[in-house]
Chains A and B, each alone.
Chain A
Amino acid sequence: MAAFLAVVIWLVTVASIYLFSGIPGWFPEQISEHGGAIDAQFIRTLVVVAISFISAQVVLGYFIWRFRGRGTGRATYTHGSVKLEVGLMLLTAVVFVTLAAMGQKVWAQLHLREAPPDAVQIEVTAQQFAWNIRYPGADGKFGRTAVKFVDDQTNPVGVDPQDPAGKDDVVSVNRMAVPVNRPIQVTLRSKDVTHSFFVPVLRLKQDAVPGMQIPIHFKAMKTGEYEIACAELCGLTHFKMKGYLMVMSDQEFATWLKERANN
């Protein structure tokens, strides 16, 4: 039975390696400027994890088999080794903290550095269960909003009709067009509960919290249509809260905006 348990533990180890390292094909496509750094950090972490995981499981299985109770002699009498404990402590502390520190670079790029001043401004207002995407229009300014102006059909984000800055705002539901290779700044808001703006191909996720305006920025490097998912439980049809990110050329983007503005 000892041999059987050892083999099962080793098989689990092999299965884990398979389930984690089929990854290059199983990660969704990566199209953002910062996403490569996140994927690289994942791989670095995977290496550290794999070394620790495989050695622990292999040794566990081996010891179970090797030291199964046989014969009449007694077990080795020892209370451990301070030298080994201290060595392991220092080694793991250095490796784990270094790993955590390395990951902060891309985090800083995303959250500590602000979007460049020429970034395209977009406001995303989440609600149960849709994404309202607003562009500031030609004046580059968003109009004021208030709940009393909200109408689900005609004015989903509640733009104040009296505010001249809001006249040329463009609102699109669930379809978010962005120009390729240009910095985009998104301001996240929510009308009701907490949602999370998740674009797998961008390697980007940020909660949209009611009462807060949370800025995020990114650059999409490849044209195409991609899915936006909600990643924070927001109620009944959380699983259908889907939007589309449409990455297009500058020209197509300008045309797209103009068409919406005319409506």
Chain B
Amino acid sequence: MSEMTHPAVHEAPTGFIRKWIFSLDHKIIGIQYYFLALFSAFLGMILSVIFRLRLAWPTETWPLLAKIFPTGFEGGPMTPEFYLSMVTMHGTIMVFMVLTTAPQGGFGNYVLPIQIGAHDMAFPVLNMLSFWVTFVSLVVMVAALFAAGGAPISGWTAYAPLSALGQVAGPGQGLGQTLWIISIAIFCVGSLLGALNFITTVLNMRAKGMSLMRLPLTVWTWFTTAILALLSFPVLLAGGILLLMDRLGGTSFFIPGGLIVSDKIIRHSGGSPILWQHLFWFFGHPEVYIAILPGMGVTSQLLSTFARKPVFGYRAMVYAIIAIGMLGFFVWGHHMFISGLSPYSAIAFSILTLTIGVPSAIKTFNWLGTLWGGKIRLTTPMLYALGFVSLFVSGGITGLFLGQTSLDVYLHDTYFVPGHFHLIMGVAAIFGIFAGTYYWFPKMFGRMMNEGLGKLHFWFTFIGVYAIFLPMHTMGIMGHPRRYAQATEFKYLAATQPFHIFITIAAIITATAQIIFLVNFLYSLFKGPKAPNNPWEATTLEWTIPSPPPHDNFGGKTPVVHHGPYEYSVPGAPKDYVMQTDPPLPGGH
């Protein structure tokens, strides 16, 4: 084992700072990403509960909240600008700081090198940088939340010119919006560094015998996600810089001539608001898959492990992952059918969008096929994986409505849209994160989580998220536009108010139930029973080493792989699972 073949090998650090803060170890960096996401998830969730209060009870006063955010409650009830700033920050924090970090930066970082038999990522210093750049981005985003003049109100999509004009366009559009854009630009840089690292690691650092068709499906999804991030984040970065120049440098990339805002004539000309939408969604659609693909990988891995069966149609699953990743780059226009986009290109975008249904159907079919004939062990991680399948079907299939030009003429920007994308890229992805947490916690921290609390948490969350997001589809069918601070101004929306109240109550219960998770997590971290090497009797490489693994993962040895990733219930094998490093079986399996 020379430095040449394993450039990533570095000595175990001894000092606290090099070990826990500026660590080069992919495992520590993965845990850092995970905690960053955990903090952000609770923050984002609290913001959502706050704005849900106004939707259910628009005229109610909230003395406790008014003490924390005095400007958001001037005159008693929550102000509409405060509502919009909460919506904006909830969406931004969840999409960027949770859904982009936990699945990839968190679990990907921790598990991927071990699953391919590597001692670390290809570029450990780059890895450390990518985390700390992301951390700075989070700090700036939290600063935007508390910025003088308020947090931005233009939504997580920050459509220009609302986001480009500054304070004149509305409260929070001054400093708050500027900080928001800076944070996103920094985030893009961090994600780019991470993506480079993942791709190189998968291509160069696989152990002997770990051919591409022996990679666990988790690795395939992290690899594809990294390629998506590499190709899409630079476009958002460019868009963010141009938007910042429009605001601070007097340029006009997104601001057309002849505008008059709040009686003020705007001295810009020549820009295009639609250009921002193209740049944003060229990133924004692949971003959906950046959030959800790792969850698909985790689900495949867990269904196979706990049904004690090989993944049904492994090759088809790999091709479906690649197809989803590729098609994901050609469908951004379906966010823009009614934006003034050419109606001819809308037709092309629409048909391409519906073809994504094909690999998605293949994935669902193969998950069901994996369960068929299995011996299912309903552990907590398995419950979350099964929940993922159900949510993926429910959230994905409504894309058949929204992907169509003609239906978007009615459904676009109604509650149908948040109903759809929360189920698929929001909670399905979160279920992937929970599944991964309950599954890999023993490996990461060397202790088991509590199964009883885990199951209780699952039931509240699974029923809760359906109660929150299914009724939103109905509200969309009733024509309720999203991002309304209240529904009471329109007669035709009168019937939606009971829905708002129901959803808010469901959201409060579901959010409160997350305390069960937090308690379980923290308690198990210190007091959970010691975890064996392979508590789930699983087959992939991370289960061949101690929990938690030593600094260089494999204790100075290099694993050699002899089997595919999901060899469960092999006839004639001594146990009902064959680990990837087990010697070849007599008979040639």
- Residues of A near any B CB (own CB < 8 A): 1-2, 5, 8-9, 12, 15-16, 19-20, 22-23, 26-28, 37-38, 41-42, 45, 48-49, 52-53, 56-57, 59-60, 63-64, 67-70, 73-82, 84-85, 88-89, 92-93, 96-97, 99-101, 103-108, 110-112, 127-128, 146-148, 150, 152, 158, 191-194, 196, 198, 200, 203-207, 209-212, 214, 227, 229-240, 242
Contact B313 A207 (CB under 8 A): no
Which B residues lie within 8 Å of A192 (CB)?
Answer: 161, 165, 169, 259-262
Rounded to whole Å, the gap between the CB of A165 and the closest CB of chain B is 19
Interface residues of B in 222-275 (CB under 8 A from A): 255-263, 265, 271-274
Contact A76 B390 (CB under 8 A): no
Which B residues lie within 8 Å of A79 (CB)?
Answer: 310-314
Instruction: State the CA gap A99–B165 with chains docked (Å).
Output: 41
Contact A49 B398 (CB under 8 A): yes
Which A residues lie within 8 Å of B258 (CB)?
Answer: 146-147, 210-211
Interface residues of B in 559-574 (CB under 8 A from A): 568-571
Instruction: State the CA gap A110–B344 with chains docked (Å).
Output: 12
Instruction: State the CA gap A15–B106 with chains docked (Å).
Output: 35
Contact B155 A211 (CB under 8 A): no
Known: A100-B404, A103-B405, A111-B343. A75 touches B375 (CB 8 A): yes
Rounded to whole Å, the gap between the CB of B279 and the closest CB of chain A is 15
Which A residues lie within 8 Å of B357 (CB)?
Answer: 92, 96
Q: Which 5 A-B pairs have the closest CB atoms?
A: A211-B256, A76-B373, A80-B313, A111-B343, A200-B479
Apart from A77-B569, A205-B410, A210-B256: 15 A-B pairs, beta carbons within 8 A = A5-B383, A9-B390, A41-B406, A45-B407, A60-B386, A64-B386, A67-B371, A74-B375, A80-B314, A97-B355, A99-B400, A104-B350, A191-B261, A200-B410, A236-B84
Instruction: State the CA gap A19–B466 with chains docked (Å).
Output: 12
Rounded to whole Å, the gap between the CB of B255 and the closest CB of chain A is 8
Contact B373 A78 (CB under 8 A): yes
Instruction: State the CA gap A112–B364 with chains docked (Å).
Output: 37
Contact B80 A81 (CB under 8 A): no
Known: A38-B409, A78-B310, A212-B340. A239 touches B350 (CB 8 A): no
| Contact digits for B465-478, partner A, Cβ 8 Å, 1 yes 0 no | 01000110110011
Instruction: State the CA gap A37–B396 with chains docked (Å).
Output: 24
| Contact digits for B147-178, partner A, Cβ 8 Å, 1 yes 0 no | 00000011100010110010001110000000
Rounded to whole Å, the gap between the CB of B474 and the closest CB of chain A is 5
Interface residues of B in 343-384 (CB under 8 A from A): 343-344, 346-347, 350-351, 353-355, 357-358, 361-362, 364-366, 368-369, 371-378, 383
Most A Cβ at <10 Å: residue of B84, B162, B308, B394: B162
| Contact digits for B289-313, partner A, Cβ 8 Å, 1 yes 0 no | 0000000000000000001111111
Rounded to whole Å, the gap between the CB of A156 and the closest CB of chain B is 10
Contact A52 B481 (CB under 8 A): no
Rounded to whole Å, the gap between the CB of B368 and the closest CB of chain A is 6
Instruction: State the CA gap A1–B456 with chains docked (Å).
Output: 12
7 sampled A-B residue pairs with Cβ under 8 A: A75-B375, A80-B315, A88-B362, A93-B355, A110-B343, A193-B159, A200-B410
**B307: contacting residue among A12, A67, A81, CB under 8 A:** A67
Interface pick from B25-33, B135-143, B488-496: B488-496
Instruction: State the CA gap A49–B396 with chains docked (Å).
Output: 10
- Minimal Cβ-Cβ distance residue in B for A189: B258
Known: A20-B474, A204-B409. A227 touches B361 (CB 8 A): no
Which A residues lie within 8 Å of B169 (CB)?
Answer: 128, 192-193, 235
Rounded to whole Å, the gap between the CB of A25 and the closest CB of chain B is 10
Instruction: State the CA gap A160–B435 with chains docked (Å).
Output: 64
Contact A88 B312 (CB under 8 A): no
B184 at the interface (CB under 8 A from A): no
Which A residues lie within 8 Å of B462 (CB)?
Answer: 8
Which A residues lie within 8 Å of B568 (CB)?
Answer: 75, 77
Which A residues lie within 8 Å of B393 (CB)?
Answer: 52-53, 56-57, 60
**B389: contacting residue among A60, A204, A206, A242, CB under 8 A:** A60
Contact A236 B153 (CB under 8 A): yes
Instruction: State the CA gap A89–B487 with chains docked (Å).
Output: 42
Instruction: State the CA gap A63–B386 with chains docked (Å).
Output: 11
Rounded to whole Å, the gap between the CB of A105 and the closest CB of chain B is 8
Interface residues of B in 50-108 (CB under 8 A from A): 80-81, 84
Known: A74-B308, A231-B412. A8 touches B463 (CB 8 A): yes
Instruction: State the CA gap A108–B362 with chains docked (Å).
Output: 31
Which A residues lie within 8 Å of B394 (CB)?
Answer: 12, 16, 53, 57
**A103: contacting residue among B257, B350, B362, CB under 8 A:** B350
Contact B340 A207 (CB under 8 A): yes
Which A residues lie within 8 Å of B343 (CB)?
Answer: 107-108, 110-112
Instruction: State the CA gap A57–B314 with chains docked (Å).
Output: 22
Known: A74-B308, A196-B413. A97 touches B354 (CB 8 A): yes
Which A residues lie within 8 Å of B495 (CB)?
Answer: 26
Contact B261 A207 (CB under 8 A): no
Contact A96 B355 (CB under 8 A): yes
- Minimal Cβ-Cβ distance residue in B for A152: B263
Contact A211 B271 (CB under 8 A): yes
B485 at the interface (CB under 8 A from A): yes
Rounded to whole Å, the gap between the CB of B420 and the closest CB of chain A is 11
Instruction: State the CA gap A211–B340 with chains docked (Å).
Output: 11
Contact B400 A48 (CB under 8 A): yes
Contact A27 B159 (CB under 8 A): no
Instruction: State the CA gap A237–B488 with chains docked (Å).
Output: 13
Rounded to whole Å, the gap between the CB of A235 and the closest CB of chain B is 4
Contact A147 B260 (CB under 8 A): yes
Which B residues lie within 8 Å of A210 (CB)?
Answer: 161, 255-256, 258-259, 273
B189 at the interface (CB under 8 A from A): no
Contact B481 A229 (CB under 8 A): yes
Interface residues of B in 443-463 (CB under 8 A from A): 455, 459, 462-463
Contact B262 A128 (CB under 8 A): yes
Contact A69 B375 (CB under 8 A): yes
B339 at the interface (CB under 8 A from A): yes
Contact A233 B155 (CB under 8 A): yes
Which A residues lie within 8 Å of B309 (CB)?
Answer: 75-78
Which A residues lie within 8 Å of B486 (CB)?
Answer: 239
Rounded to whole Å, the gap between the CB of A135 and the closest CB of chain B is 21
Instruction: State the CA gap A52–B355 with chains docked (Å).
Output: 15
Contact A209 B478 (CB under 8 A): no
**B373: contacting residue among A16, A48, A75, A242, CB under 8 A:** A75
